Amino acid sequence: MAEMRMVHSVDRTAVGAETLARLVSRTAGTHPGYRALARGVRTLLLDGRVPLRTRLPAERELAGALGVSRATVTAAYDLLREGGYALSRRGAGTWTALPQGGRPANVASFPADDCTLDLAIAAPGAPESELLDAYADAGRALPRYASAPGYHPYGLPELRAAVAERFTRRGLATRPEQILITTGAQQALSLALSLLGRPGDRVLVENPSYPNALDALRRAGLRTVPVPVTDCGWDTELITSALRQSAPRAAYLVPDFQNPTGALMPHEDRVRIAETARDTGTWLVIDETVSDIALDVPAPPPFASAVPPGTGEQLVTVGSLSKTHWGGLRVGWIRTGCSQLVTELATARVPADMANPVIDQLVGLGLLERETEVLRRRLPALRAQRDALTAALSRHLPEWRWRTPPGGLSLWVDLGRPVASALARAALRQGVRIEGGARFGVDPGTHEHRLRIPFTLRPEDIEEAAARLATAFAGGLTDDETPGPGRRPWVA
């Protein structure tokens, strides 16, 4: 949040009165009563939109920003303190807290303990035998690199060549000079956005979309132009219209098994969007981190292979080994249409992160060499886990609805009513960590009737997680836990 700042005296972040008023009005109404205000602040905390241990504005300042009496804010803060959601100390103010044992339902939260079933992260574990073999090969190769300083801002030449060959094999001729190796796709995306856009620039994004990408956009000070995507797919008319009307600086799209809906963009839609982006001068930032997780259809070719001649110069593709291999390795990449942009991206990367560790890149190279074998075993296992999840949900929660995606790692489930945030909190008390749909929305409060449920756990854990979700759902989600009347309408 732009108005948050560090408060060194108490070593916490602080949220300004105007910022909190703007955020809370979306969940509690423009001029809330004290109960609605307390509920709104609690919702922001539990959804991760206001961090834990954030100092809240002074009562008088927040009252002025909201247009309510100071007594209303005082009573709301009292309710938060009584519930364990705020702490106060004379001279230090009031800051956000959680009841003992509580945790925010946020994709950046860590698992509570070994007994918690984690459905907040849609990523599989490592392919153990291939990972061990790749580490063994990397250990044998490492001495060849040890005499040099070890800094490779562009990435190891061998790994860049392997990623380029991977693109070429998928149908998009690529040279190693067009590849930059990064610390995962998240760094690739953040680099691309920071280089291509400036604070205040517009960026077209899907709604819903990947939460960490949305966070990167917000941190870069970019203004989002949301376009809806459902589990049935994209409305290309709306996308091309938004491109023409707003002429955004960039567009961030996940065309291959979109996160969280699992939708796959048709070839003709890719061509049309690329042509319109060329006409409006919009950069396309394409996220292909799950493009190889094709469960019912052939793996799609790279988006850039579908663009008209001359359009690829304004297209950046990001990818990584996190979804196909292992997120713990943190090896990603950027592919661009020209090597000059790679140089600019590498230059922008150095002040924060000079280079990936050589050993990690060597392991990544070994895994890429074994990719065919990894996917040969991984894809059938994911199909089986997807079937296990749909069967378990049908048994335990037959009123929920979803469209089975042709690929990807999760279901985008319709709960039938806007209670996802409350359900996520209730599920955590049952030992399941999961994301409410609001975490994936461009606008706070949207998609409250949705859950993203990954099928990356073992079948027996999937069954147990579904049973625990059913217990949480049947336990009664009280009015005190559901969104207030001021919450923005959710979008299907």
| More confident site: 11 or 129 | 129
Sorted by sequence, the CB contacts under 8 Å of residue 173 that are 6+ apart come out as: 167
Position 287 pLDDT exceeds 50 = yes
Q: What is the pLDDT of residue 1?
A: 36
Q: What is the pLDDT of residue 200?
A: 94
What's the length of the chain? 492
Q: What is the pLDDT of residue 13?
A: 73
Q: What is the pLDDT of residue 323?
A: 93
Give domain 5-96's CATH architecture: Orthogonal Bundle (1.10)
Position 336 pLDDT exceeds 50 = yes
Q: Determine whether domain 117-126+383-474 maps to CATH 3.90.1150.10.
A: yes
DSSP-based three-state secondary structure for 291: coil
Q: Measure Cα distances from 415 to 187, 232, 469, 474 in Å.
A: 33, 17, 12, 12
Position 49 pLDDT exceeds 90 = no
Q: Residues 379-395: what's their mean pLDDT?
A: 97
Per DSSP, the residues of 147-159 read: TS----TT--HHH
Q: What is the pLDDT of residue 5?
A: 36
Q: How confident is the model at residue 383 (pLDDT cuts 50, 70, 90)?
A: very high
pLDDT digits (tens, 9 = 90+) for 105-138: 554 445 445 578 999 989 999 999 999 999 999 9
What number does CATH give the domain 139-369?
3.40.640.10
Q: What is the pLDDT of residue 146?
A: 92
pLDDT digits (tens, 9 = 90+) for 306-319: 887 766 679 999 99
Distance CA 229, CA 226 (A): 9
- What is the chain's mean pLDDT, rounded? 87
Residue with tokens 């961030």: 252
Q: How confident is the model at residue 484 (pLDDT cuts 50, 70, 90)?
A: very low
Q: Residues 443-470: what's their mean pLDDT?
A: 92
What percent of the chain shows pLDDT beyond 90? 67
Position 81 pLDDT exceeds 50 = yes
Distance CA 298, CA 94 (A): 55
Strand-pairing partners, residue 413, are 451
Per DSSP, the residues of 116-182 read: -EEES-------HHHHHHHHHHHHHHGGGTTTS----TT--HHHHHHHHHHHHHTT----GGGEEEE
Position 392 pLDDT exceeds 60 = yes
Of 97-101, 256-260, 301-305, 373-377, minimum mean pLDDT range: 97-101
Q: What is the pLDDT of residue 124?
A: 93
Q: Residues 272-288: what's their mean pLDDT?
A: 95
Going from N- to C-terminal start, the domains of the chain cover 5-96, 117-126+383-474, 139-369
pLDDT digits (tens, 9 = 90+) for 343-370: 999 999 988 888 899 999 999 999 999 9
| More confident site: 84 or 7 | 84
Position 376 pLDDT exceeds 60 = yes
Position 97 pLDDT exceeds 50 = yes
Asked whether 302 and 284 are in contact (CB, 8 A), the reply is no
Q: What is the pLDDT of residue 42?
A: 86
Q: What is the pLDDT of residue 324?
A: 93
Asked whether 125 and 131 are in contact (CB, 8 A), the reply is no
Of 249-253, 268-272, 397-401, 428-432, minimum mean pLDDT range: 428-432
Q: What is the pLDDT of residue 102?
A: 55
Q: What is the pLDDT of residue 488?
A: 32
Q: Measure Cα distances from 13 to 5, 53, 332 in Å.
A: 6, 7, 31
Q: What is the pLDDT of residue 257?
A: 97
Q: How confident is the model at residue 52 (pLDDT cuts 50, 70, 90)?
A: confident
218-248 burial, b at 16+ Cβ within 10 Å, e below that, comes to eebebebbbbebbbeebebeebbebbeeeeb
Return the structure tokens found at 351: 């002040």
